[in-house]
């Protein structure tokens, strides 16, 4: 029998845990050669998630849980699950059933065919807001153009990893975790499965706009230094323009044509003041990342676990 660990981050997901356990249990009833365990990671939930998990664990030996000391965020919760899971295969998926367990047999089949990593790309269902779809596609476009890893739009954190992929992942000690990029960066034999995401079963999305923007920003700054070089390109561009403008100003001075300066002066100052602050901010955010990394803090703290 081969052991499959399923890592499920849960932040205020009390209504979904039982359901997802039973769905996964059903799937594995039909998979003869595989045993499963579920590693739930309670990411500092404020509802009854922990109680539900303890109850589930007391009834089913396959249920394991890790409780964080506070909310560390989705990516860290998945990371913790990967660090602790012991299966020969590890699958990470969301708790809200948007990642359908029925895909698991197909993923495992691909692994049997020799792929080390089976990741999934979601097509959004019609019900998902236009705004979320557009912002998400925009993000993947920017990320792909800025960074060295190519991420397909709709990449999700529903994936199957071979033990050797997980072991390599464990050696990556980044303080900002962006799993989609890290996994892509690692290489190995990867296979993509396309699927249509289901509706969230219970509760509401935990990714508000703020978290989404943060996530996007981490994704870009963790995988690219191109924003840092943007200053140089802008510098060349504006120097080029000034080379055209300066002769005109000299000519106007010599020819003593009346030049009214106030409006253009203010505009230039405000504009370049803004550009410079943005560039400083970009440099600052990389500096901040280095600072965070240098502190060598653990990326998450476990309050309790049952294994
Ligand atoms: N999640 C988490 N910590 C957080 C936010 C989310 O562990 O701070 C989990 C959440 O419980 C779910 C998964 O991450 O299992 C994806 O979150 P969600 O479904 O809210 O995101 P969406 O599908 O709306 O992008
Ligand atoms: Mg979801």
User: Do 234 and 98 share a structural domain?
Assistant: no
**174, 207, 223: which is the final residue of a domain?**
223
Same domain, 218 and 231: no
Q: Is residue 208 part of a domain?
A: yes
Neighbours of ion ligand 2 (CB under 5 A): 94, 96, 98
Does 150 lie in the same domain as 18?
A: yes
Q: Detail the DSSP E strand segments found in 135-204.
A: 155-162, 190-196
94 CA: nearest ligand 1 atom: 15
* Domain count of the fold of the chain: 2
Q: Is 97 in the pocket of ligand 1 (CB under 6 A)?
A: no
**Spacing, Cα 74 to ligand 1 middle (Å):** 6
Are 97 and 144 part of one and the same domain?
Answer: yes
Ligand 1: which residue has its CA nearest to atom 3?
Answer: 74
**The domain boundary residue, chosen from 192, 223, 254:** 223
| Ligand 1 atom index nearest CA of 204 | 20
| Structural tokens at position 267 | 């505009």
Residues 158 and 234 in one domain: no
C-alpha to C-alpha distance for 93 and 201, rounded to whole angstroms? 14
Going residue by residue through the chain, which has 307 residues, state the pLDDT in tens, using 9 for 90 and above. Answer: 999 999 999 999 999 999 999 999 999 999 889 999 999 999 999 999 999 999 999 999 999 999 999 999 999 999 999 999 999 999 999 999 999 999 999 999 999 999 999 999 988 766 677 877 787 788 788 878 887 777 788 888 999 999 999 999 999 988 888 898 899 889 899 999 998 888 888 888 877 788 878 888 888 888 888 888 888 999 999 999 989 888 888 888 888 777 677 888 898 899 999 999 999 999 999 999 999 999 999 999 999 999 9
Name which of 140, 89, 129, 84 is nearest 300 in CA terms: 84
169 and 54 within one domain: yes
Q: Is 102 exposed, middle or buried (0-12, 13-18, 19+ CB in 10 A)?
A: exposed
pTM: 0.86
| CATH number of residue 121's parent domain | 3.90.550.10
**Strand pairing category for 63-68 and 155-162:** unpaired
Domain-ending residue, one of 223, 252, 285: 223
ipTM of the prediction greater than 0.90, yes or no: yes
Instruction: List all residues 6 or more positions away from 198 whose beta carbon is below 8 Å from its beta carbon.
Output: 97, 98, 99, 100, 125
Alpha-carbon distance 206 to 293, whole Å? 26
Same domain for 241 and 156: no
Q: List the domain range (segments joined by +) for residue 260.
A: 226-295
Assigned token pair, 102: 């029925």
Helix (H) or strand (E) holding 222: helix 209-223
Q: Residue 67: CB within 6 Å of ligand 1?
A: no
**Which tokens sit at 76?**
């860290």
Which H helix or E strand runs over 243?
Answer: helix 226-255
Q: Which residue has the tokens 């055209």?
A: 244
């Amino acid at each position: 029998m081969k052991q499959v660990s399923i890592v499920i981050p849960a932040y205020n997901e009390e209504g979904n845990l039982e359901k997802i356990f039973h769905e996964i249990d059903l799937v594995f009833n039909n998979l003869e050669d595989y045993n499963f365990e579920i590693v739930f990671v309670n990411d500092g939930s404020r509802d009854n998630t922990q109680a539900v998990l303890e109850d589930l664990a007391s009834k089913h030996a396959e249920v394991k849980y890790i409780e964080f000391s506070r909310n560390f965020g989705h990516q860290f919760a998945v990371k913790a699950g990967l660090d602790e899971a012991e299966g020969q295969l590890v699958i990470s998926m969301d708790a809200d059933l948007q990642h359908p367990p029925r895909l698991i047999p197909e993923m495992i089949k691909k692994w049997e065919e020799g792929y080390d990593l089976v990741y999934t790309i979601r097509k959004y269902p019609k019900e998902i807001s236009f705004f979320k779809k557009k912002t998400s596609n925009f993000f993947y476009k920017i990320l792909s153009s800025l960074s060295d890893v190519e991420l397909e739009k709709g990449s999700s954190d529903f994936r199957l990893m071979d033990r050797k992929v997980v072991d390599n992942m464990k050696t990556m000690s980044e303080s900002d975790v962006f799993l989609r990029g890290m996994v892509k960066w690692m290489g190995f034999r990867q296979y993509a499965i396309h699927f249509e995401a289901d509706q969230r079963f219970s509760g509401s999305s935990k990714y508000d706009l703020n978290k989404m923007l943060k996530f996007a920003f981490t994704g870009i700054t963790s995988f690219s230094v191109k924003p840092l070089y943007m200053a140089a390109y802008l510098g060349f561009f504006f120097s080029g323009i000034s080379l055209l403008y300066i002769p005109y100003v000299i000519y106007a001075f010599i020819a003593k044509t009346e030049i009214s300066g106030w409006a253009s002066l203010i505009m230039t100052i405000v504009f370049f003041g803004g550009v410079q602050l943005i560039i400083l901010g970009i440099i600052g955010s990389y500096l901040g990342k280095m600072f965070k990394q240098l502190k060598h803090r653990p990326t998450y703290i476990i309050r309790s676990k049952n294994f």
